[in-house]
Structure 1
Amino acid sequence: MRIVDMARREINAKTDIAFEYEEIKEGRKVVALRFRITKNPRADTPDPLRDDPRLARLVARLTAHGIAEEAARAIVQAHEPELVEWAASDLARRLKGKEKIENPAGWLRKAIEEDWRPQTTLFSQEQAQARENEREAERKRQEHEAKTAE
Protein backbone atom coordinates (compact mmCIF):
# COMPACT_ATOMS: atom_id res chain seq x y z
CA MET A 1 0.00 0.00 0.00
CA ARG A 2 3.05 2.26 -0.12
CA ILE A 3 2.12 3.42 -3.60
CA VAL A 4 -1.40 4.41 -2.53
CA ASP A 5 0.01 6.17 0.56
CA MET A 6 2.44 8.18 -1.60
CA ALA A 7 -0.38 9.19 -3.95
CA ARG A 8 -2.64 10.07 -0.99
CA ARG A 9 0.01 12.33 0.56
CA GLU A 10 0.60 14.14 -2.72
CA ILE A 11 -3.08 14.56 -3.56
CA ASN A 12 -3.94 15.70 -0.03
CA ALA A 13 -1.07 18.24 -0.06
CA LYS A 14 -1.54 19.69 -3.54
CA THR A 15 -5.22 19.57 -4.43
CA ASP A 16 -8.59 20.71 -3.14
CA ILE A 17 -9.67 17.13 -2.44
CA ALA A 18 -8.48 14.66 0.15
CA PHE A 19 -9.00 10.95 0.43
CA GLU A 20 -8.62 8.16 2.91
CA TYR A 21 -8.85 4.50 2.10
CA GLU A 22 -9.67 1.29 3.89
CA GLU A 23 -8.29 -2.09 2.97
CA ILE A 24 -10.86 -4.84 2.60
CA LYS A 25 -9.26 -8.18 3.37
CA GLU A 26 -10.09 -11.81 3.07
CA GLY A 27 -7.80 -13.39 5.59
CA ARG A 28 -4.43 -11.69 5.19
CA LYS A 29 -4.99 -10.89 1.53
CA VAL A 30 -6.20 -7.41 0.49
CA VAL A 31 -8.96 -7.95 -2.05
CA ALA A 32 -10.32 -4.39 -2.38
CA LEU A 33 -9.90 -0.79 -1.32
CA ARG A 34 -12.72 1.49 -0.16
CA PHE A 35 -12.03 5.18 -0.76
CA ARG A 36 -13.58 8.13 1.11
CA ILE A 37 -13.13 11.36 -0.84
CA THR A 38 -13.70 14.70 0.91
CA LYS A 39 -13.09 18.37 0.35
CA ASN A 40 -9.56 19.29 1.48
CA PRO A 41 -9.74 22.05 4.10
CA ARG A 42 -5.95 22.61 3.88
CA ALA A 43 -6.27 23.74 0.26
CA ASP A 44 -8.39 26.72 1.38
CA THR A 45 -5.66 28.15 3.60
CA PRO A 46 -3.53 30.77 1.89
CA ASP A 47 -0.08 29.62 0.90
CA PRO A 48 2.44 32.47 1.15
CA LEU A 49 4.88 30.58 -1.08
CA ARG A 50 2.29 30.30 -3.83
CA ASP A 51 1.15 33.92 -3.46
CA ASP A 52 4.64 35.50 -3.40
CA PRO A 53 6.52 34.98 -6.67
CA ARG A 54 9.88 35.76 -5.04
CA LEU A 55 9.45 32.97 -2.49
CA ALA A 56 8.23 30.58 -5.19
CA ARG A 57 11.38 31.38 -7.21
CA LEU A 58 13.53 30.63 -4.16
CA VAL A 59 11.84 27.25 -3.74
CA ALA A 60 12.49 26.55 -7.43
CA ARG A 61 16.17 27.51 -7.05
CA LEU A 62 16.57 25.17 -4.07
CA THR A 63 14.88 22.28 -5.87
CA ALA A 64 17.10 22.89 -8.91
CA HIS A 65 20.10 22.20 -6.66
CA GLY A 66 18.65 18.89 -5.48
CA ILE A 67 16.64 19.77 -2.37
CA ALA A 68 13.24 18.06 -2.20
CA GLU A 69 10.32 20.43 -2.74
CA GLU A 70 8.82 19.97 0.73
CA ALA A 71 12.24 20.57 2.34
CA ALA A 72 12.79 23.62 0.12
CA ARG A 73 9.40 25.05 1.13
CA ALA A 74 10.22 24.51 4.81
CA ILE A 75 13.62 26.19 4.41
CA VAL A 76 12.16 29.22 2.61
CA GLN A 77 9.46 29.59 5.28
CA ALA A 78 11.93 29.25 8.16
CA HIS A 79 14.69 31.61 6.94
CA GLU A 80 14.85 35.15 5.65
CA PRO A 81 14.67 35.37 1.83
CA GLU A 82 17.92 37.35 1.58
CA LEU A 83 19.84 34.51 3.27
CA VAL A 84 18.31 31.86 0.99
CA GLU A 85 19.01 34.02 -2.08
CA TRP A 86 22.61 34.61 -0.99
CA ALA A 87 23.25 30.90 -0.36
CA ALA A 88 21.76 29.83 -3.71
CA SER A 89 23.77 32.49 -5.56
CA ASP A 90 26.96 31.58 -3.70
CA LEU A 91 26.51 27.90 -4.54
CA ALA A 92 25.89 28.72 -8.22
CA ARG A 93 28.99 30.94 -8.27
CA ARG A 94 31.12 28.21 -6.71
CA LEU A 95 29.85 25.52 -9.08
CA LYS A 96 30.37 27.81 -12.08
CA GLY A 97 33.90 28.48 -10.87
CA LYS A 98 34.57 24.73 -11.07
CA GLU A 99 34.74 24.30 -7.30
CA LYS A 100 34.09 20.65 -6.49
CA ILE A 101 31.13 20.34 -4.15
CA GLU A 102 30.17 16.70 -3.81
CA ASN A 103 26.72 17.30 -2.34
CA PRO A 104 25.35 20.67 -3.50
CA ALA A 105 21.99 20.12 -1.78
CA GLY A 106 23.68 19.38 1.55
CA TRP A 107 26.07 22.32 1.13
CA LEU A 108 23.17 24.65 0.36
CA ARG A 109 21.07 23.46 3.30
CA LYS A 110 24.00 23.81 5.72
CA ALA A 111 24.89 27.27 4.34
CA ILE A 112 21.35 28.45 5.00
CA GLU A 113 20.89 26.80 8.38
CA GLU A 114 24.24 28.05 9.70
CA ASP A 115 24.13 31.43 7.88
CA TRP A 116 27.47 31.31 6.10
CA ARG A 117 27.19 34.86 4.80
CA PRO A 118 30.39 36.85 5.29
CA GLN A 119 30.16 38.73 8.57
CA THR A 120 31.52 42.25 8.84
CA THR A 121 34.22 42.54 11.46
CA LEU A 122 34.36 45.26 14.04
CA PHE A 123 37.44 46.67 12.30
CA SER A 124 35.69 46.90 8.92
CA GLN A 125 32.64 48.48 10.59
CA GLU A 126 34.91 51.10 12.20
CA GLN A 127 36.62 51.75 8.86
CA ALA A 128 33.26 52.23 7.14
CA GLN A 129 32.14 54.60 9.90
CA ALA A 130 35.40 56.57 9.63
CA ARG A 131 34.95 56.90 5.82
CA GLU A 132 31.38 58.08 6.36
CA ASN A 133 32.53 60.62 8.95
CA GLU A 134 35.20 61.92 6.54
CA ARG A 135 32.61 62.31 3.75
CA GLU A 136 30.27 64.15 6.11
CA ALA A 137 33.06 66.47 7.29
CA GLU A 138 34.06 67.17 3.67
CA ARG A 139 30.44 67.92 2.74
CA LYS A 140 30.09 70.33 5.68
CA ARG A 141 33.39 72.01 4.79
CA GLN A 142 32.23 72.53 1.20
CA GLU A 143 28.88 73.92 2.38
CA HIS A 144 30.70 76.31 4.71
CA GLU A 145 33.04 77.45 1.90
CA ALA A 146 30.06 77.98 -0.39
CA LYS A 147 28.32 80.15 2.23
CA THR A 148 31.43 82.24 2.94
CA ALA A 149 32.08 82.74 -0.78
CA GLU A 150 28.67 84.37 -1.26
Structure 2
Amino acid sequence: MPIDELYSMVSNNYERYTEFKKNVLEKCKEELKNKTDISFRYEEIKTGRKVTSIKFYITSNKDTCKSEIAATLAKPKPKPQQNIDHIKRIKEIIKEEITDQEAQSILISANGDINIIKEKYRCAQRAAKITNMVGWLIDAIKRDYQPPISKAKVGKFNDYAQREYDFDKLEKKLLGWEQMNVI
Protein backbone atom coordinates (compact mmCIF):
# COMPACT_ATOMS: atom_id res chain seq x y z
CA MET A 1 0.00 0.00 0.00
CA PRO A 2 1.50 3.38 -0.95
CA ILE A 3 2.43 5.62 1.97
CA ASP A 4 0.35 8.49 0.57
CA GLU A 5 -2.73 6.27 0.66
CA LEU A 6 -2.02 5.31 4.28
CA TYR A 7 -1.58 8.96 5.22
CA SER A 8 -4.93 9.80 3.62
CA MET A 9 -6.65 7.08 5.70
CA VAL A 10 -5.22 8.50 8.91
CA SER A 11 -5.21 12.22 9.62
CA ASN A 12 -1.79 13.26 8.41
CA ASN A 13 -0.44 15.07 11.47
CA TYR A 14 2.97 13.48 11.09
CA GLU A 15 5.78 15.34 9.42
CA ARG A 16 8.06 12.32 9.26
CA TYR A 17 7.52 8.69 8.48
CA THR A 18 9.28 7.65 11.71
CA GLU A 19 6.59 9.45 13.75
CA PHE A 20 3.85 7.80 11.71
CA LYS A 21 5.49 4.41 12.14
CA LYS A 22 5.85 4.80 15.91
CA ASN A 23 2.46 6.39 16.65
CA VAL A 24 0.23 4.61 14.14
CA LEU A 25 1.71 1.41 12.71
CA GLU A 26 3.34 0.04 15.84
CA LYS A 27 0.42 0.98 18.13
CA CYS A 28 -2.10 -0.62 15.74
CA LYS A 29 0.08 -3.70 15.48
CA GLU A 30 0.14 -4.15 19.28
CA GLU A 31 -3.57 -3.39 19.79
CA LEU A 32 -4.67 -5.80 17.08
CA LYS A 33 -2.42 -8.51 18.43
CA ASN A 34 -3.71 -8.13 22.00
CA LYS A 35 -7.40 -7.41 21.39
CA THR A 36 -8.46 -9.23 18.20
CA ASP A 37 -8.08 -12.55 16.46
CA ILE A 38 -5.74 -11.15 13.81
CA SER A 39 -2.26 -9.72 13.82
CA PHE A 40 0.01 -8.29 11.20
CA ARG A 41 3.58 -7.58 10.36
CA TYR A 42 4.77 -5.26 7.66
CA GLU A 43 7.65 -4.73 5.31
CA GLU A 44 8.83 -1.28 4.28
CA ILE A 45 9.38 -0.91 0.54
CA LYS A 46 11.87 1.82 -0.30
CA THR A 47 12.73 3.82 -3.35
CA GLY A 48 16.28 4.89 -2.68
CA ARG A 49 16.36 5.72 1.03
CA LYS A 50 12.73 6.85 1.24
CA VAL A 51 9.91 4.49 2.31
CA THR A 52 7.32 4.73 -0.48
CA SER A 53 4.97 1.87 0.36
CA ILE A 54 4.30 -0.82 2.92
CA LYS A 55 3.49 -4.48 2.35
CA PHE A 56 1.26 -5.97 5.05
CA TYR A 57 1.19 -9.63 6.09
CA ILE A 58 -1.99 -10.42 8.03
CA THR A 59 -2.22 -13.63 10.05
CA SER A 60 -4.69 -15.30 12.34
CA ASN A 61 -4.13 -14.83 16.07
CA LYS A 62 -6.50 -17.40 17.57
CA ASP A 63 -4.69 -17.61 20.92
CA THR A 64 -6.04 -14.27 22.16
CA CYS A 65 -9.73 -14.74 21.31
CA LYS A 66 -10.63 -18.25 22.35
CA SER A 67 -13.96 -17.27 23.89
CA GLU A 68 -15.19 -15.24 20.92
CA ILE A 69 -18.70 -16.04 19.70
CA ALA A 70 -19.54 -15.87 16.02
CA ALA A 71 -21.78 -12.93 15.15
CA THR A 72 -23.29 -14.50 12.04
CA LEU A 73 -25.71 -17.34 11.68
CA ALA A 74 -24.17 -20.52 10.38
CA LYS A 75 -25.60 -21.70 7.08
CA PRO A 76 -26.26 -25.40 6.71
CA LYS A 77 -23.43 -27.05 4.85
CA PRO A 78 -24.31 -28.88 1.65
CA LYS A 79 -23.77 -32.59 1.43
CA PRO A 80 -20.07 -33.37 0.89
CA GLN A 81 -20.47 -35.19 -2.44
CA GLN A 82 -22.78 -32.51 -3.81
CA ASN A 83 -20.32 -29.84 -2.67
CA ILE A 84 -17.42 -31.55 -4.49
CA ASP A 85 -19.49 -31.82 -7.67
CA HIS A 86 -20.40 -28.12 -7.48
CA ILE A 87 -16.78 -27.13 -6.96
CA LYS A 88 -15.73 -29.13 -10.03
CA ARG A 89 -18.55 -27.51 -12.01
CA ILE A 90 -17.50 -24.01 -10.95
CA LYS A 91 -13.90 -24.73 -11.94
CA GLU A 92 -15.16 -25.84 -15.37
CA ILE A 93 -17.24 -22.67 -15.79
CA ILE A 94 -14.41 -20.31 -14.84
CA LYS A 95 -11.73 -20.59 -17.47
CA GLU A 96 -9.00 -19.40 -15.11
CA GLU A 97 -6.96 -21.38 -12.59
CA ILE A 98 -8.71 -21.26 -9.20
CA THR A 99 -8.34 -23.36 -6.07
CA ASP A 100 -11.05 -25.51 -4.50
CA GLN A 101 -11.28 -23.06 -1.62
CA GLU A 102 -11.84 -20.13 -4.01
CA ALA A 103 -14.52 -22.11 -5.84
CA GLN A 104 -16.11 -22.88 -2.46
CA SER A 105 -16.15 -19.15 -1.61
CA ILE A 106 -17.86 -18.34 -4.90
CA LEU A 107 -20.39 -21.13 -4.30
CA ILE A 108 -21.17 -19.87 -0.80
CA SER A 109 -21.64 -16.28 -2.00
CA ALA A 110 -24.12 -17.54 -4.64
CA ASN A 111 -25.96 -19.68 -2.05
CA GLY A 112 -25.22 -22.75 -4.16
CA ASP A 113 -26.87 -21.39 -7.33
CA ILE A 114 -24.67 -22.33 -10.30
CA ASN A 115 -26.76 -20.26 -12.74
CA ILE A 116 -25.95 -17.05 -10.87
CA ILE A 117 -22.25 -17.90 -11.08
CA LYS A 118 -22.54 -18.50 -14.85
CA GLU A 119 -24.38 -15.20 -15.33
CA LYS A 120 -21.84 -13.17 -13.35
CA TYR A 121 -18.92 -14.88 -15.10
CA ARG A 122 -20.43 -13.81 -18.45
CA CYS A 123 -20.49 -10.24 -17.10
CA ALA A 124 -16.85 -10.63 -16.06
CA GLN A 125 -15.87 -11.66 -19.57
CA ARG A 126 -17.30 -8.38 -20.89
CA ALA A 127 -15.69 -6.26 -18.17
CA ALA A 128 -12.34 -4.57 -18.68
CA LYS A 129 -9.18 -5.67 -16.85
CA ILE A 130 -10.10 -7.83 -13.88
CA THR A 131 -7.02 -8.60 -11.82
CA ASN A 132 -8.74 -10.72 -9.16
CA MET A 133 -11.44 -12.83 -10.82
CA VAL A 134 -12.54 -14.62 -7.64
CA GLY A 135 -12.94 -11.38 -5.68
CA TRP A 136 -14.73 -9.74 -8.59
CA LEU A 137 -17.16 -12.65 -8.96
CA ILE A 138 -17.98 -12.71 -5.23
CA ASP A 139 -18.57 -8.96 -5.29
CA ALA A 140 -20.65 -9.25 -8.47
CA ILE A 141 -22.84 -11.90 -6.83
CA LYS A 142 -23.26 -9.94 -3.59
CA ARG A 143 -24.00 -6.63 -5.34
CA ASP A 144 -25.93 -8.23 -8.21
CA TYR A 145 -23.94 -6.73 -11.08
CA GLN A 146 -25.99 -6.55 -14.26
CA PRO A 147 -24.63 -6.84 -17.81
CA PRO A 148 -24.49 -3.49 -19.62
CA ILE A 149 -27.53 -2.68 -21.72
CA SER A 150 -26.45 -2.19 -25.29
CA LYS A 151 -27.78 0.81 -27.18
CA ALA A 152 -30.04 0.15 -30.13
CA LYS A 153 -28.36 1.14 -33.36
CA VAL A 154 -30.47 3.83 -35.00
CA GLY A 155 -28.54 4.20 -38.20
CA LYS A 156 -25.09 3.77 -39.60
CA PHE A 157 -22.92 6.63 -40.75
CA ASN A 158 -21.54 4.62 -43.66
CA ASP A 159 -24.85 3.10 -44.68
CA TYR A 160 -24.91 4.30 -48.30
CA ALA A 161 -24.07 2.94 -51.71
CA GLN A 162 -20.41 3.32 -52.62
CA ARG A 163 -19.71 5.62 -55.57
CA GLU A 164 -18.20 4.20 -58.70
CA TYR A 165 -15.06 5.94 -59.92
CA ASP A 166 -13.18 5.81 -63.19
CA PHE A 167 -9.69 6.02 -61.73
CA ASP A 168 -7.94 6.65 -65.07
CA LYS A 169 -10.17 9.66 -65.73
CA LEU A 170 -9.64 10.93 -62.15
CA GLU A 171 -5.88 10.61 -62.52
CA LYS A 172 -5.91 12.64 -65.74
CA LYS A 173 -7.97 15.39 -64.09
CA LEU A 174 -5.73 15.52 -61.04
CA LEU A 175 -2.54 15.70 -63.11
CA GLY A 176 -4.01 18.26 -65.49
CA TRP A 177 -3.62 16.04 -68.58
CA GLU A 178 -7.26 16.45 -69.62
CA GLN A 179 -6.83 20.23 -70.03
CA MET A 180 -3.68 19.74 -72.15
CA ASN A 181 -5.53 17.63 -74.70
CA VAL A 182 -8.16 20.34 -75.13
CA ILE A 183 -5.59 22.95 -76.23
TM-score between the two structures when normalised by the length of structure 1: 0.34
Question: More helix per residue: 1 or 2?
Answer: 1
**Which has the greater radius of gyration?**
2
